[in-house]
Structure 1
Amino acid sequence: MIEEHATVVDVFVGAVLIESSRTSACGQCQSKQSCGQKAISEWASSKMARIEIDNPGHLLVKSGDNVIVGIDEGSFLKASALMYLLPLVLMIVFGGVAQSFVTSELFIIVFSFIGLLAGFLGAKLLSRQLERRSQYKPVLLRISSLMKG
């Protein structure tokens, strides 16, 4: 189970609205002083993410409580593979098919880009189906004893 600290914003019947800061592993390497990616990740990590999650254990939480939420590791890896690999694979396949029929590099590039867009669209449609399944939804695990500051 992958766990994350969050703060309860609102409480509903069987669910809670939580807020968590986006985190990044960027900035841990030796090149962090000269890396442009670090600045982007710092800007993105300052944003707060809000999401409504299930409370299957019906924990008694109130607004402002610090909680631990989690999602199954296998489900997280499958969803990540879908989001990253499907567009990449379709881009390569579309480019390969285009290359077998024509020699124009421009046409191959355009067809590869169409494959990439088809992959993003396919990933979005499949993710909508996956988010209906309970194993792909984060859940409220427990109230955190760690004070968030």
Structure 2
Amino acid sequence: MIEEIVTVVGVEPSRVRVAAARNSACAQCSSRSNCSQGVLSQWQKDKVVEVDVLNPSNLSVAVGERVVIGLPEGSLMRASFLLYCLPLLCLVLVAVTARQLGMGEIEQVLLSVMALLAGFWGVRRYTRRHEVQPHYQPVLLKILET
């Protein structure tokens, strides 16, 4: 379970709205001043993201409390694979197939780009259909003592 400490900004019967500061791993890295990624991460510094999380245990929370939310690692890995690997796999398979069929370079490129876009479209369609499933939703785990 991937966990994060956040602040409650709204409460509903089965959901809790939380605000989390957007952090990157660069904040803890000793090389951040010499790294271009560290410089880029400073642009997003102090940004706040609000998210609705499930409250399956019906914990009694109030606005302003600090809580721990979690997301199952398996669902994050599955979503990452779908988003990054599936479109690229479509691109490569179509490019290789087009090459084996003796198509020209322009046709290979066009078909490959279309396959990449089709892969992204497929991922979008899948996520729209499955985004309401609980294992893809962050959940409220516990309330931190003040």
Task: Kindly indicate whether the alpha-carbon contact (under 8 Å) linking 2:33 and 2:39 is maintained by their aligned counterparts in 1.
Answer: no
Task: Kindly indicate whether the alpha-carbon contact (under 8 Å) linking 2:6 and 2:19 is maintained by their aligned counterparts in 1.
Answer: yes
Q: Which amino acid aligns with 2:110?
A: V
TM-score (norm 1): 0.84
CA offset at residue 45 of structure 1? 4.6
Aligned position for 1:72: 72
Task: Kindly indicate whether the alpha-carbon contact (under 8 Å) linking 1:94 and 1:114 is maintained by their aligned counterparts in 2.
Answer: no
Single out whichever of 100-109 and 52-61 deviates more from structure 2: 100-109
Aligned position for 1:114: 114
Identity of aligned residues (%): 36
Distance 1:92 1:53 in 2: 37
CA-based RMSD: 2.0
CA offset at residue 117 of structure 1? 1.2
Aligned position for 1:130: 130
Task: For structure 1, list consecutive stretches of 5 or more residues without a partner in the other structure.
Answer: none
CA offset at residue 15 of structure 1? 0.8
Task: Kindly indicate whether the alpha-carbon contact (under 8 Å) linking 2:99 and 2:108 is maintained by their aligned counterparts in 1.
Answer: yes
Distance 2:26 2:114 in 1: 31
CA offset at residue 137 of structure 1? 1.0
Distance 1:48 1:11 in 2: 18
TM-score (norm 2): 0.86
Task: Kindly indicate whether the alpha-carbon contact (under 8 Å) linking 2:9 and 2:19 is maintained by their aligned counterparts in 1.
Answer: yes
Distance 2:117 2:58 in 1: 41
With over 3 angstroms needed to count, the CA separation of the structure-2 counterparts of 1:18 and 1:87, relative to structure 1, is: same
CA deviation vs aligned residue, 1:96-128 (integer Å, no higher than 9, x gap): 122223453333222222222111111111112
Distance 1:86 1:137 in 2: 21
Distance 2:33 2:113 in 1: 34
Distance 2:88 2:45 in 1: 26
Q: Residues 35-114 of structure 1 correspond to what in structure 2 (within 5 A)?
A: 35-114=35-114
| 1:42 partner SS | helix
CA offset at residue 130 of structure 1? 2.5
